[in-house]
Amino acid sequence: NVVEFIDEPIRDETYVHRYRSTGYALAQSFGYKIDYSNGNGMFNSQEELDDYLSTTSYGFGVPRVGYFKYTDLNEDGVVDDKDQVPIGASGIPGITYGFGL
């Protein structure tokens, strides 16, 4: 189930919720990609957190030790909504059927 066309505005990078339905499954969810470069995808020490925050900031709060380490996909130095990607599968079943007796 992929949306082939829906009449929706084309939104540029400055628009907050710029995700489109065209080309994605119905009810597709978007979220942040976890960075597993350190093994478990979390900040394991204050030193690791400080190193990360020296080059990258979060646009939605302050991370702490034990929080997930998100990937800055567009490499602008800020992890924000522009770094979200499609995650998981849609809640809409790919095939539906029925029969009567």
Looking at every residue in the chain, the average pLDDT score rounds to 83
**Higher-pLDDT residue of 21, 76:** 76
CA pseudo-torsion sign 56, 42, 70, 64: negative
pLDDT at 2 over 60: yes
pLDDT digits (tens, 9 = 90+) for 5-40: 777 677 676 665 556 677 777 777 888 999 999 889
| Gap between the terminal Cα atoms of the chain | 28
| C-alpha 90: how far from chain center | 14
Predicted model pTM: 0.70
The percentage of residues in the chain with a pLDDT greater than 90, rounded to a whole number, is 35
46, 67 contact by CB (below 8 A):
no
Helix (H/G/I), strand (E/B), else coil: 6: coil
pLDDT of residue 25: 75
What is the mean predicted confidence (pLDDT) over 75-86? 87
